Amino acid sequence: MAMSCKDGKPGMDNGKYVRYTPEQVEALERLYHDCPKPSSIRRQQLIRECPILSNIEPKQIKVWFQNRRCREKQRKEASRLQAVNRKLTAMNKLLMEENDRLQKQVSQLVYENGYFRQHTQNTTLAAKDTSCESAVTSGQHSVATQHPPRDASPAGLLSIAEETLAEFLSKATGTAVEWVQMPGMKPGPDSIGIVAISHGCTGVAARACGLVGLEPTRVAEILKDRPSWFRDCRAVDVLNVLPTANGGTIELLYMQLYAPTTLAPARDFWLLRYTSVLEDGSFVICERSLKNTQNGPSMPPVQHFVRAEMLPSGYLIRPCEGGGSIIHIVDHMDLEPWSVPEVLRPLYESSTVLAQKKTMAALRQLRQLSHEVSQPNVTGWGRRPAALRALSQRLSRGFNEALNGFSDEGWSMIGNDGIDDVTIMVNSSPDKLMGLDLSFANGFPSISNAVLCAKASMLLQNVPPAILLRFLREHRSEWADNNMDAYSAAAIKVGPCSLPGSRVGNYGGQVILPLAHTIEHEEFLEVIKLEGLAHSPEDAIMPREVFLLQLCSGMDENAVGTCAELIFAPIDASFADDAPLLPSGFRIIPLDSGKEASSPNRTLDLASALDIGPTGNKQSNDYSGNSGCMRSVMTIAFEFAFESHMQDHVATMARQYVRSIISSVQRVALALSPSHLNSQAGLRPPLGTPEAQTLARWICNSYRCYLGVELLKSSNEGNDSILKSLWHHSDAILCCSLKALPVFTFANQAGLDMLETTLVALQDIVLEKIFDEHGRKILCSEFPQIIQQGFACLQGGICLSSMGRPVSYERVVAWKVLNEEENAHCICFMFMNWSFV
Per-residue model confidence (pLDDT) at position 508 = 47
Please name the residues in contact with 401: beta carbons below 8 A apart, sequence gap of 6 or more. Answer: 258, 409
Would you place residue 521 in the very low, low, confident or very high pLDDT band (cuts 50, 70, 90)? low
Instruction: Please compute the mean of the pLDDT values over residues 740-763 and round it to a whole number.
Output: 82
Cα gap 533→480, rounded to integer Å: 12
Buried b (16+ CB within 10 A) or exposed e, 320-342: beeebbbbbbbbbbbbebeebee
611-670 confidence digits (pLDDT tens): 333 333 333 333 333 334 578 999 999 999 888 888 889 999 999 999 999 988 888 888
DSSP-derived pairing of the beta strands 584-590 and 631-642:
antiparallel
Per-residue model confidence (pLDDT) at position 233 = 96
Would you place residue 62 in the very low, low, confident or very high pLDDT band (cuts 50, 70, 90)? confident
25-58 confidence digits (pLDDT tens): 888 888 887 777 777 777 777 788 888 887 888 8
DSSP 717: S
Would you place residue 329 in the very low, low, confident or very high pLDDT band (cuts 50, 70, 90)? very high
Would you place residue 506 in the very low, low, confident or very high pLDDT band (cuts 50, 70, 90)? very low
**How many other CB atoms are there within 10 angstroms of residue 510's CB atom?**
24
Would you place residue 499 in the very low, low, confident or very high pLDDT band (cuts 50, 70, 90)? very low
Per-residue model confidence (pLDDT) at position 217 = 92
524-542 confidence digits (pLDDT tens): 888 888 765 544 444 444 5
Q: Are 554 and 466 in contact, with CB atoms under 8 Å apart?
A: yes
129 in helix, strand or coil? helix
**Percent of all residues in the chain with a pLDDT value above 70, rounded to a whole number:** 74
- Angle, to 10 degrees, between the axis of helix 58-129 and the axis of helix 40-49? 120
Per-residue model confidence (pLDDT) at position 779 = 83
Whether the pLDDT of residue 255 is over 70: the answer is: yes
111-147 confidence digits (pLDDT tens): 667 667 766 655 554 554 444 443 333 333 333 345 5
Mean pLDDT comparison of 81-85, 662-666, 736-740, 771-775, highest-scoring range: 662-666
Give the helix/strand (H/E) hosting 315. Answer: strand 313-319
Cα gap 312→334, rounded to integer Å: 11
- Angle, to 10 degrees, between the axis of helix 58-129 and the axis of helix 22-34? 60
Closest CA to 655 of 637, 668, 667: 637
pTM: 0.67
Q: Which long-range contacts (CB under 8 A, 24 or more apart) does 180-187 make?
A: 182/206, 182/352, 182/355, 182/560, 183/352, 183/560, 183/595, 184/558, 184/559, 184/560, 184/595, 187/91, 187/94, 187/95
Q: Are 660 and 654 in contact, with CB atoms under 8 Å apart?
A: no
Q: What is the mean pLDDT of the chain?
A: 77
Cα gap 316→283, rounded to integer Å: 6
Per-residue model confidence (pLDDT) at position 421 = 81
**Any idea of the CA torsion for 175, 181, 185, 188, to the nearest 10 degrees?**
50
The CA radius of gyration of the chain, in Å to the nearest whole number, is 31
Whether the pLDDT of residue 280 is over 60: the answer is: yes
Give the largest Cα separation in the chain, rounded: 111
Mean pLDDT comparison of 248-257, 611-620, 697-706, 777-786, highest-scoring range: 248-257
Per-residue model confidence (pLDDT) at position 612 = 32
Would you place residue 685 in the very low, low, confident or very high pLDDT band (cuts 50, 70, 90)? very low
356-373 confidence digits (pLDDT tens): 999 999 999 998 888 888
Per-residue model confidence (pLDDT) at position 134 = 35
Would you place residue 675 in the very low, low, confident or very high pLDDT band (cuts 50, 70, 90)? low
Whether the pLDDT of residue 565 is over 90: the answer is: yes
* CA geometry: angle 275, 276, 278, nearest 5 deg: 145
Please name the residues in contact with 270: beta carbons below 8 A apart, sequence gap of 6 or more. Answer: 252, 253, 254, 289, 290, 291, 298, 299, 307
